[in-house]
Amino acid sequence: MAKLLIDGNRMRSMVGPEITAVKIRIERQTGASLVVDALSRHPAEEMDISHWYYLTGRDRFRCQLTHRIVKAPHGRMLGPWEIRRRPAFREALLSHLKGRTQQRMLLAIWRDWSPWLVCDEIGEIFDAARIDHSVFS
């Protein structure tokens, strides 16, 4: 709770599910609705795929959504908070999937808080999705 009060959702020593669980617990126990200041609403994520290429020493990766091979300098790294701040991105992904694959993707979106490595086409879908400023407020 102290970490949440110190820096809201920007606290980097906690991951999203921990922050969300603490916020929900506080709201249920107190009956008060917590509002996170806009400056602390989410971490400032600077996801640059060139950093990934440099740190890993690799020149290619497999897109985590399309499974295509992506070669440097192409591709994108999408941050976990940014993915969740764009519900339209989630809906666009889910609309292309059916049945169990759709269910697995929905679970992955909420369980996987690591950055996603994706191809440029998925990056364009991501860019087209508007940010919902009410998420994590």
Q: Is the pTM of this model over 0.85?
A: no
Same domain as 108, residue 60: yes
- Quick check: is 71 in a domain? yes
3-state SS class at 3: helix
- Quick check: is 44 in a domain? no
Looking at residue 114, the DSSP 8-state letter turns out to be S
Distance CA 137, CA 39 (A): 11
Range of the domain at 11: 2-39
Q: Taking 60 as the threshold, does the pLDDT of residue 137 lie above it?
A: no
Higher pLDDT pick, 81 / 29 = 29
Same domain as 26, residue 91: no
Q: What is the pLDDT of residue 4?
A: 65
Look over the chain and give the mean of its residue pLDDT values, rounded to a whole number. 85
- Quick check: is 91 in a domain? yes
Q: Taking 70 as the threshold, does the pLDDT of residue 14 lie above it?
A: no
Distance CA 125, CA 35 (A): 30
Q: What is the pLDDT of residue 13?
A: 60
Confidence of residue 9 (pLDDT cuts 50, 70, 90): low
Looking at residue 36, the DSSP 8-state letter turns out to be -
Dump pLDDT digits (tens) for 80-105.
888 888 999 999 988 888 888 888 88
- Quick check: is 137 in a domain? no
